Each structure stands twice: as C-alpha cells, then as structure tokens.
Amino acid sequence: MAKKFVRAIFPGSFDPITKGHLDVINRGIKLFDELIIAVGNSPLKDPLFTLSERVDMIKPLVADIEGVSVQSYDCLTVEYAASVGATAMLRGLRNLTDVQYEFQLAMTNRAVAGIETVFVMTSEEFGFTSSTIIREIAALGGNVSNLIPQQVYEKLQKRLSEKGLQ
C-alpha cells in the first residue's frame, strides 16, 4: 500500500512568534510530510505587527526545516486548510486552560470541516508563554529575550519604541 501524504497547517497569529511556537513546529513536522505555518489575520485582535511582517519574521526561522513553509491567510481557518489541501491541523498545548479551549475548537472544526486536529504539548520551559504575555511584559519594560528568537526580540523592541510603549 502506498504511503499517504499528509499536509497539515499550524495556524496562529504569531504576533510575535515565540520559542514555544518553534518548539511545536520542530516536533510537529516529524508527524507530517508537510507543515504550513499559517499566519492568520484575526478581526478580534489588534496585532502589533502586520500580517506581512509576521510572515517575514517567521520565514528565516524555519527556512532550514525540511517540509515547513509559511503562508498568510485572511479567511476562516478551516476554509484556508481546505484551500491548501490540508487534512490536519497542528496545535500546541501549554496548560489545562488551553486543553479546554482547543478541545472545543477541534470538535467544532471536525464537525464543520472534517479536519482533524493533532495536539503537541509544548516543552515545559515554554508552558507559560504566549505572544500576548510577551507583548505585555515587553511593553512594560520587561526582558523577554529568552522567550523569543533574537531577531524577533530586536523587531519587538523597535516596534514598541516606535509606538511609544517602552
């Protein structure tokens, strides 16, 4: 029997991408033939970086990971998944709060679009981080350089300075 090709997406706002996200990507690609980092535009969020800036920040971070690519989308995640032929969605879990929310989302996505969700637990060292928390800490002058890649940290510092948030 021929091996089935499995394309998955890892959707998120990635505003900014964290070392926790990269941890999930590095472990998640081992489960799929292809993994698309799907950078979304959520109407409910007020992003610090534009969609194209987020894509541009992520591309060099995953350039050396075979089978991983980065794309942006501006529609329902399940619609985007169908448009690229993805049969699975990768999601990272940090804590019990994530489990409850992600379980509900996975059940809805499967019922609405027939797409399966695969969960990967974030490494313990990143279990408390989120892009939102990182932005808040950085805006208040805290050092988040150990939670995000150096080049992302530099862009974050610059953007917060431009906005007068430091």
Indicate the number of domains in the chain: 1
Tens-digit pLDDT profile for residues 3-42: 889 999 999 999 999 999 999 999 999 999 999 999 998 8
Determine, yes or no, domain membership for 17: yes
Sequence-distant (≥ 6) Cβ neighbours of residue 35 within 8 angstroms: 7, 8, 9, 10, 25, 28, 29, 67, 68, 69, 90
Q: Is residue 41 a part of any domain in this protein? A: yes
The CATH number linked to 101 is 3.40.50.620
User: Rounded to an integer, what distance in angstroms lies between the CA atom of residue 153 and that of residue 134?
Assistant: 10
User: 118 has which bridge partners?
Assistant: 90
- Using alpha carbons only, how large is the chain's radius of gyration in Å? 16
Residue showing tokens 């797409």: 115
- Tell me whether residue 154 is in a domain: no
Cα distance between residue 35 and residue 78, in whole Å:
15
- Hey, which residues does 69 pair with through a beta bridge? 36
Q: What's the whole-model pTM score?
A: 0.93
**Residue 166 banded pLDDT, cuts 50, 70, 90:** low
Examine residue 81 and state whether it is found in any structural domain, yes or no: yes
Is a pLDDT exceeding 90 seen at residue 43? no
Residue 161 lies in a domain: no
Distance between CA atoms of residues 10 and 101, nearest Å: 16
Q: Give residue 95's domain range.
A: 7-125
- Residue 135 covered by a domain: no
Would you name the residues annotated as active-site residues? 21, 45, 94, 131
Say if 138 falls within a structural domain: no
Q: Is residue 155 part of a domain?
A: no
What are residue 89's DSSP bridge partners? 9, 117
